[in-house]
């Protein structure tokens, strides 16, 4: 069974935001502590997406924590918890989810699609993970895992794939694993 890389192997593991005039820094580990370890791939994906937003919409400078909003077709709770922890966008109604939304090049997910349109300071960017992260096997296995009669072997494979995705995302910067659509 796979597991997460050791913390000293994580690349670019922090993001800083501005909240009421002061800097607040979050580490990927903070996100795992907030969400847990079930959706590890989604947790790291959410973190890398916010880093990409910072690069794309604020020249790499810290974002104002409460000024980021999102329209997405991705229902993953790991990513959603990262968005909430770092920006408070869910509890402050700046998060909109529509799993039926289709984009011509956004990869379909286990449910919905890997489509993220972030808005910050009157600018928007459409983002998605790079092709292959997650893999076709990840998507197919994730869908199969929803079957109430899924085998223990399939569920173990699903857990391994989630860890593999997280490790891929942990080993690369947002610039390497997140693309503009």
HSE-up of 151 (CA within 13 Å, CB side)?
Answer: 4
* Architecture category of domain 11-180 in CATH: 2-Layer Sandwich (3.30)
Q: Is 35 exposed, middle or buried (0-12, 13-18, 19+ CB in 10 A)?
A: buried
Alpha carbons 69 and 14: distance in angstroms, whole number: 20
Query: In this predicted structure, what is the pLDDT of residue 133?
Result: 87
Torsion of CA 138, 144, 147, 152, to 10 degrees: -80
Query: In this predicted structure, what is the pLDDT of residue 76?
Result: 96
Query: DSSP class of residue 172?
Result: S
Query: In this predicted structure, what is the pLDDT of residue 132?
Result: 84
Give the residue from 130, 138, 136 showing the smallest Cα distance to 164.
Answer: 138
In the numeric block, the tokens 């449910």 are attached to 111
Query: DSSP class of residue 113?
Result: B
Residues 96-139: pLDDT tens digits? 999 999 999 999 999 999 999 999 999 999 999 998 889 999 99
Report mean pLDDT in 10-residue bins for the chain, 181 residues. 88 97 98 96 97 97 97 98 98 98 93 97 96 91 95 96 95 97 96
Helix axes 152-170, 40-58, angle to 10 degrees: 30
Give the residue from 2, 52, 14 showing the smallest Cα distance to 168.
Answer: 2
Neighbours of 132 (CB within 10 A): 11
């Amino acid at each position: 069974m796979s597991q997460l890389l050791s913390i000293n192997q994580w690349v670019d593991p922090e993001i800083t935001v501005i909240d009421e005039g002061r800097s607040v820094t979050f580490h990927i580990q903070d996100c795992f502590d907030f969400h847990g370890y079930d959706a590890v791939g989604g947790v790291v994906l959410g973190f890398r997406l916010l880093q990409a937003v910072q690069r794309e919409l604020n020249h790499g400078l810290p974002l104002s924590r409460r000024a980021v909003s999102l329209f997405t077709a991705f229902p993953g709770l790991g990513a959603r918890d990262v968005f909430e922890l770092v920006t408070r966008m869910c509890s402050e109604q700046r998060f909109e989810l529509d799993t039926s939304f289709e984009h011509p090049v956004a990869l379909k997910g286990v449910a919905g699609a890997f489509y993220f349109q972030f808005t910050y300071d009157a600018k928007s960017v459409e983002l998605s993970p790079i092709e292959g992260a997650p893999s076709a096997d990840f998507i197919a296995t994730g869908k199969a895992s929803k079957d109430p009669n899924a085998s223990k072997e399939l569920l173990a494979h699903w857990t391994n794939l989630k860890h593999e995705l997280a490790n891929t995302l942990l080993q690369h910067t947002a610039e390497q694993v997140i693309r503009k659509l």
